[in-house]
Amino acid sequence: MKSQNSFSGKVYTVIHLILVFALAAYIVIVSGILTAGYNEAVRNFSDEWITETGESRCIDDVRIPGIGRKVELTKKLPGNITDEDCICIESKNSIYTILIDDREIFTFSPEENFTGLGYGVTFNEIRLNGADGGHTVHLKIASINPENNRGQILSVYLAPSLDYIHMQVRSCFIPAALSLFVVLLGVTMVLIYIRIPDKNDLPFSIISLSMIAMLIGSWLFVDTNIMQLITGNIFMWRSLNRFIILFALYPCVHFINSLTKLRRQIYQIIAFFVNIAIVILALILRFVFDVDTTMSFSPIIGVEVLLLAILSFVSLIDNNIYCKNNGLVQGIKGFYIGIMVLIVSVALDILLYHIGIFQWDSYGSFTRLGVACFMIVCLFQFLKWWTRDRADVQRDRFINKILQYAVSYSPEDSIRLILEFMGTELRTSRIGIFEKQENGKFHGTYEWFREDLESADMGLLYLPQEGLVDEMYKAFYANQKRLIISNPEEYKTALPSLYSLMISNDIESLVSGPLESNGKLVGWLAFIGTPDELQEETAEIISIISYFLTQLIVQREEQKRLRYYSYNDPLTGALNRRAFTEYLENGLDMSSAFGYLICNINGLEAANNKIGYEAGDRMVKDVVRCLTDVFGESHVYRMGGGEFAAFGFETDESFFNGDVERVRKLAKEKDLSLSIGSVFCAFGTMAIQRVLYRANEIMKADK
């Protein structure tokens, strides 16, 4: 039933996720952001601009020629201009003025700000009216910083403002989505960190990883310019673009250091102060030496990446030496894969940028993909650890419960309770323990089975060691201490005896393992009908729990020996006076009918003196045989010397007297002379001592 519920739960979860993603996809599609319907109102106005020399040029091919120089371009507007149309300009580090004929309608001339004069890529929409149709547009362009000659108009469109924004947002939708995905992963890491109770056992610093994701993801998202398009604010987003990434060095080093076995704090301290120094350097260059971030950004980022690489490399090399010296496994191969993917993606973007094969308004498309892949690798590694950690916690709980049973009850009860607990938790059908006997066979001694099943009578089952148990033992160790058989047909040739046993007993699956004590095989533990998804876990449990079960079996046998020595006569094996006293106090039902017999061997002392003690011992043993033949081993007591007692539980006095006469007859056949006293209590008794006294008196009279 639990297995069916588990399967149903997984199906419902999958269906739920499919519905969520289907609804999200539907919302994106109907929102129109992926459609191209706006294209009808958007017209490309970048081609066939006339330069001062009369040449026709595409506007993105025009470069400002030098210091103090401006470029003037002209182009006639089409006649079908509406009041909703705008001249939509995408520029880069440029100052420009737009005139319709001789009428100035817009000037973009930014002042010095937090980042300097350079704004990078900017978007402006200049409203037209229907009367402007057919008139000439004059575009006067100059570089913001004439010394670096980087001013440029990237594109010009004629379109309604919202349609233009729609087009630009759609063009950077995938980079923006990847960037937000990285940010979302960072937020997810924070939520996971909050939910984890014991934060000291984490495999790496989740907080530093979440900081990396949110910093880099936010930086890449701002770099798409989508927020500038939506809000119209240039200064704030440009400032964030230039300074967010400067704070990434410390969390990066902190995260990489947290992956190591050493986790030396010195690397974190160095990274912290180096990161602060980089930020201070950027601020000094900007506000003390008046260096524009357009000029200083790339060198500063280069220095930051170089220092990050050095600190990370030293930390990993230090950890590698430590692990080799101490025989430890580093366990960070998965992270190396993620880091390599990230390095390759960043290098590819840098290569494409410098050789100019592709040109985008926002660079770093491969970097976004690489960061997303790296975060997914990290998240996967965390989930892998989390799953293993939860399994370890559950296993610890499992073992602790078994230990609780082991120390709280007698060995016999502990074994039965442990089997019941394991069978319930692991949802198996049956569990059996087979213990090695003196004849070399393994006899079924314990059985647990599910409530809806019947006993398989494992107590009647004997497993031969040669040809079966020995082969299972070899297979167990050959398979890394696992013997999992989910399909008996696969072992038809390898373990033919086990295959025959499983087929003849309708066993479809088996997970089993040995019970060993001091290197000796003392038993075998078998789980029958365990669900497929729990078979590996069951095998792991067997390898752990076999020791405890073996110790309980050894302890049980030791207790049996101690109890035997405490409650049995060493000469005859009959129960002794101590067992008799305890039986009177706790075992005898004095409310029901019972008979009591006491007897003494006549002439035992004389036989010891004349013939020898060996002859006397034979007489004692013969009397015990006579009594046990009549009353059974569990009701015969040697009270000391040649005196014995026994209880009979006949329902009629005549039957009990018949048993007494049988004792006399058996004794006579063995040439034994006995003095016997017996009392039958038809309705039980409230005064057992009077019964004992009366029987003793009768025995004395019988002498």
Q: What is the pLDDT of residue 380?
A: 82
Structure tokens at 536: 């590996």
**C-beta atoms surrounding 359 within 10 Å:** 10
One-letter amino acid at 302 equals: G
Q: How far is CA 479 from CA 22, 516, 523, in A?
A: 45, 17, 19
Identify the CATH assignment for 577-702 out of 3.30.70.890, 3.30.70.270, 3.90.1660.10, 3.40.718.10.
3.30.70.270
β-sheet with 510-517: strand ranges across: 462-463, 442-449, 430-436, 520-528, 510-517, 484-485
Return the H-helix or E-strand segment holding 193: helix 173-195
What 3-state class would DSSP assign to 615? Answer: helix
The reported pLDDT for the residue numbered 363 is: 58
User: Reading across the β-sheet that carries 121-127, which strands appear in turn?
Assistant: 43-44, 152-160, 85-92, 121-127
Cα diameter, the chain: 152
Closest CA relative to residue 676, chosen from 628, 633, 632, 643: 643
DSSP state of 110: P
By CB atoms closer than 10 A (0-12, 13-18, 19+), residue 60 is middle
What is the pTM assigned to this prediction? 0.61
Per the structure block, which two tokens stand in for 217? Answer: 């993801």
Q: Beta partners for 601?
A: 674
d(Cα 485, Cα 120) in Å, to the nearest integer?
A: 66
Cα→Cα distances 597→71, 583, 669, Å: 131, 15, 19
515 contacts 556 by C-beta, under 8 angstroms? no
Q: What is the CATH number of domain 43-168?
A: 2.60.120
Using CA atoms, how far apart are residues 678 and 663, in angstroms rounded to an integer? Answer: 12
Record the tokens describing residue 294, joined without a space: 């357009």
Q: Which amino acid is at 210?
A: S
Architecture of the 409-565 domain? 2-Layer Sandwich (3.30)
Distance (Å, whole) CA 297 – CA 293: 5
Beginning with the edge strand found earlier in the chain, give each strand of the sheet holding 71-76 in spatial order. Answer: 56-57, 49-50, 71-76, 136-143, 94-100, 103-108
Q: List, run by run, the mean pLDDT of 10-residue segments along the chain (703 residues).
A: 44 62 62 56 92 90 72 93 93 90 89 76 91 93 69 90 88 86 88 80 87 92 88 85 90 92 91 94 88 81 89 91 84 81 82 61 72 85 75 75 81 90 91 89 91 85 88 90 90 89 90 90 93 89 87 86 87 92 90 93 86 88 93 92 92 91 92 91 90 93 84
Q: Which residues contact 201 (CB under 8 A, 6 or more apart)?
A: 389
What was the pLDDT predicted at 8?
A: 47
Nearest to 640 by CA among 546, 576, 555: 576
Residue 365 pLDDT: 76
What is the structure's pLDDT at 201? Answer: 76
The whole-angstrom separation of Cα 323 and Cα 318 is: 9
